[in-house]
Every structure is written in C-alpha cells, then in structure tokens.
C-alpha cells in the first residue's frame, strides 16, 4: 500500500499543476475576452463619432451650397437691376423710325449697358464752328 500512496502523491501533484495551469489559462482567456469587448466598444464609439462628424460635414457643405446659391442670386439680381431697362426702350425698330432725332439718341443712350461709352457729338462741331 505504500507504493500506491507514493504513486498517488506524484500523480496528485501533476494533476494539481495541470489543473492550476488550466485555471490560469481560463482566467487569462476571460481577461483577454474582456479586453476584446472593451476594444469592440471603443471601435463602435469611434464609428459613431465618425458618422456624426460626417453628418456635420455634410450639413456644413449643404449650408455652404445654400449660402453660395443665395449670394449668386443676390449678385444676379444686382446685375439685373443695374442693367434693367424699360421694355419700351427695347422696341427700337418701331420707335426710332417714328420718333424725332433727339429722342432716338436719348433712347439709345438709356438702353446701352452700363460701362459702355456713348459718344455725344456737339452741334457746334458738326456745323464746322470748332476745330476737329
């Protein structure tokens, strides 16, 4: 029986060591799984932040497009207002033939776009009274 108890003791110590290793490895696996879960939560949080930032960037871009369109409309309106003419001035073919010479020059001057030079000739130079 002594032999049996001697065998038993070394086997018991081996079994205990194996058991301790298994417990250690199980605990290590649990710890690593917890680390993985934490990292997955961090990844999900970061993905949510990225989505939010993308939404904010998209809204900012949309707002900038709207502001740009408004500025373009304002510029277009200002250009239209600065070059606006009375519709009666646009019918130059029928009105110039029936109107007097002085009135025709006035209409031509008014219907010209802003920034264009309109030559005004003096009667003094036409009659030969001046130089040139």
Q: Provide, rounded to the nearest whole percent, the portion of the chain with pLDDT above 90.
A: 45
Residue 2: strand, helix, or coil: helix
Q: What number is the average pLDDT over the span 34-52?
A: 98
Higher pLDDT, 46 or 74: 46
**Coil vs helix vs strand at 82:** helix
> Which residues lie closer than 8 Å to 130 by C-beta, 6 or more apart?
122, 124
Is pLDDT at 132 greater than 80 in this prediction?
no
pLDDT surpassing 60 at residue 67: yes
Q: Residue 40 — pLDDT band, cuts 50, 70, 90?
A: very high
Report field, pTM of the whole predicted structure over 0.75: no
Residues 73, 78, 83: CA angle, nearest 5 degrees = 125
110 pLDDT above the threshold of 90: no
Does residue 95 register a pLDDT over 50?
Answer: no
């Amino acid at each position: 029986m002594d032999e049996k108890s001697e065998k038993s003791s070394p086997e018991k110590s081996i079994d205990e060591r194996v058991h301790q290793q298994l417990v250690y490895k199980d605990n290590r696996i649990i710890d690593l799984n917890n680390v993985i879960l934490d990292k997955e939560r961090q990844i999900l949080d970061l993905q949510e932040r990225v989505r939010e930032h993308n939404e904010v960037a998209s809204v900012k871009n949309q707002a900038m497009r709207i502001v740009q369109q408004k500025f373009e409309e304002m510029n277009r309106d200002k250009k239209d207002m600065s070059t606006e003419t009375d519709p009666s001035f646009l019918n130059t073919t029928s009105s110039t033939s029936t109107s007097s010479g002085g009135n025709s020059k006035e209409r031509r001057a008014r219907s010209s776009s802003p920034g264009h030079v309109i030559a005004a000739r003096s009667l003094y130079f036409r009659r030969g009274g001046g130089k040139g």
